[in-house]
Structure 1
Amino acid sequence: MTTTRLFSTIFLLLYFTSLFAQDDPPFRFGIRGGGNLYSGVLSVAPEISKKLHAGYQIGLTAEYEFRDNVYLQTEVGLTTKGVVYKGSEVLEGGVRQWTQNFTLRYLEVPFLIAYKPEIEENISLYFHGGPYFAYGIGGKTRLKITHKQAEGEDVDTSQDSFGENGFKKLDIGIRFGSGLEFEKYTIGFDFEYGLTNISRKDTKLSSLLNDRGFKNKGVCLSLGYKF
């Protein structure tokens, strides 16, 4: 089943479930989407600079109120993570510059506990946190090398980010964040930190990763709607 069909099936299931729910049900379903900025935990040489990787996230959400203002939350989401590294080397008569852009696409499911104190009628703060589990489903790693007034051949190649020669597909970490909920709408800010080293010891994806541990970390800004 493709990712699009999976999301469509889950969405329809949640939607029709909500139609037959009570006026004030313990279960609530919704959608969430937004943008993110990711980086990586990796030790590299001082002359190599690290840039944030811009991405997106979109997901179908569900929550259950098991105590006043306390909820269990989960989500089936599609998210992109990654990082960009840049470096340069002075050669005779010029400079060689390189950029390696890692893009990692995941199907992610968090399990969070949320606390929602009401600050005004129909307006609540929320704070949540817990583990997440993500599985890599795609992405490319692009290497670009250019020579300025220096001898050498320019390079612009890409290869799959996951697989035997790339990153491990399973990523486990923690997510925590806060936001506002007003009526059926939410706006939130989250931070994720990977606990799993997803780099292989002898990867052929990048010399930057060899014999080094790599973990995802990033921030997310999202908007949501609950049925």
Structure 2
Amino acid sequence: MKRFVLVAAALLASATMSVAQNRPTFRVDANLSVSNQDSKRNDFTYNTVPNVGVRLGVGAEFQLGSKGFYLAPGLNYSMKGSITKWNRDGINIEPSYIKEESTRLHYLQLPINIGYRFTLSDDFAISFEVGPYAAYGFSGTHIQKNSLNDGYHTQVFGDIIGGPSKTRWDVGAGIGVALHYKRTYLQAGYEHGFIDMVRGGAYQPPLSDETLHKTICNRSFFVGLGYRF
């Protein structure tokens, strides 16, 4: 956690110093997020369904020149994860077999976007942003359910056998668009993580000669409202 704070502070300081001659515009936003995960094992892709959560953020905008471009570093709290369900109707299986897995992840996320704002009128504008992000997973839960309602619960980030990952860091890229009315804006966007969460995780290889190649990457959509001060 201390490492994340130091990295975040260094990146924000660097971005701030590079445009120190400009007075920033600060902003806050609150979004509904719909997150999912690309989950693959060898050549098989799992059918996952989204988890709904929230994405809350603060940020600043530093004007770059006079043509509408700006730099937008920020800090977000973001909920991510996914749900995997197995349809086993009509199959004679033990009631104790897993029928659903749910993963809920909590991240502190540092995006650094480049944006461009088009002025439509005195009151309306539209902006586009794109850029990378770094995220630190400070908490997460992984739940397995069966027909007996006898769930198995573990922390995601840790050494417990069955937990999905010990990889707390995520790096990815995002894109967004916002419609502004005076200081209020409606925004929507998409983020995709590049880090394989299973790397170094607690998944165990099968009891056979099969080689296990499992990957899980985060992705999420978000939509919500914001305000520029």
Q: Match of 2:78?
A: 79
Q: Deviations over 1:183-211 (max 9, x none)?
A: 1111111100111112135524998xx63
Q: Match of 2:39?
A: 42
* Contact 2:95–2:147, Cα closer than 8 Å, also in 1: no
* Contact 1:73–1:112, Cα closer than 8 Å, also in 2: yes
TM-score (norm 1): 0.78
Q: CA deviation at 1:157?
A: 2.1
| 1:32 is aligned to 2:29 | yes
* Contact 1:107–1:136, Cα closer than 8 Å, also in 2: yes
Candidates 193, 215, 223, aligned match of 1:213: 215
Unaligned stretches of 5+ residues in structure 2: 6-21, 207-211
* Contact 1:88–1:95, Cα closer than 8 Å, also in 2: no
Q: CA deviation at 1:92?
A: 5.9
Aligned positions, number: 199
Q: Match of 2:171?
A: 172
| 1:101 is aligned to 2:102 | yes
Q: Deviations over 1:136-177 (max 9, x none)?
A: 011211111115xxxxxx521211111234421000000001
Q: Deviations over 1:39-58 (max 9, x none)?
A: 11112587953111111011
* Contact 1:202–1:211, Cα closer than 8 Å, also in 2: no
Letter in 1 for 2:83: V
State how far apart, in whole Å, the 2-side matches of 1:94 and 1:140 are.
Answer: 23
* Contact 1:63–1:72, Cα closer than 8 Å, also in 2: yes
Letter in 1 for 2:224: S
Letter in 2 for 1:183: K
TM-score (norm 2): 0.77
Q: Match of 1:114?
A: 115
Q: CA deviation at 1:96?
A: 5.2
Q: What pairs with 1:165-204 in structure 2 (closer than 5 Å)? A: 165=160, 166-167=164-165, 168-200=167-199, 203-204=202-203
Q: Match of 1:16?
A: none
State how far apart, in whole Å, the 2-side matches of 1:144 and 1:33 are.
Answer: 31
Gap change, CA 1:76 and 1:47, over 3 Å in 2: closer
Of the structure 1 ranges 173-182 and 88-97, higher mean CA displacement relative to structure 2 is found in: 88-97
| 1:161 is aligned to 2:156 | yes
The percentage of aligned residue pairs carrying the same residue is: 20
Gap change, CA 1:66 and 1:96, over 3 Å in 2: same
State how far apart, in whole Å, the 2-side matches of 1:95 and 1:164 are.
Answer: 24
Q: CA deviation at 1:93?
A: 9.1
State how far apart, in whole Å, the 2-side matches of 1:135 and 1:204 are.
Answer: 21
Gap change, CA 1:66 and 1:46, over 3 Å in 2: closer
State how far apart, in whole Å, the 2-side matches of 1:93 and 1:212 are.
Answer: 25
* Contact 1:114–1:128, Cα closer than 8 Å, also in 2: yes
Q: Match of 1:53?
A: 51
Letter in 1 for 2:110: V
Q: Match of 2:63?
A: 65
Q: CA deviation at 1:87?
A: 1.1
| 1:127 is aligned to 2:128 | yes
SS in 1 for 2:40: coil
SS in 2 for 1:54: strand
State how far apart, in whole Å, the 1-side matches of 2:94 and 2:158 are.
Answer: 39
